[in-house]
Amino acid sequence: MPALADAAGPALMGAVSAAVSENAALLEHFPTATPDQLGLKTGMLFCVLFPLGIVAGVRALRRLSRAAPAPRT
Task: Give the model's confidence band at 4: pLDDT under 50 very low, under 70 low, under 90 confident, else very high.
Answer: low
Confidence grade of residue 5 (pLDDT, cut at 50, 70, 90) = low
Output DSSP code: residue 60: H
Residue 68 has a pLDDT of 66
Domain membership of residue 15 (yes or no) is yes
| pLDDT score at 70 | 66
Burial readout 11-47 (b: 16 or more C-beta within 10 A, e: otherwise) = eebeebbeebbeeeeebeeeeeeebeebbbebbeebb
CB atoms within 10 A of CB 2: 7
User: Within a domain: residue 71?
Assistant: no
In a domain, 73, yes or no: no
Q: Is residue 47 part of a domain?
A: yes
pTM: 0.67
Domain with 60, as residue range(s), is: 9-66
Crossing angle of helices 35-67 and 4-21, in 10° steps, is 130
| pLDDT tens for each residue of 11-55 | 888 888 999 989 888 889 988 989 999 999 998 898 888 888 889
Query: Would residue 4 count as lying in a domain?
Result: no
For the chain, how many structural domains are there in total?
1
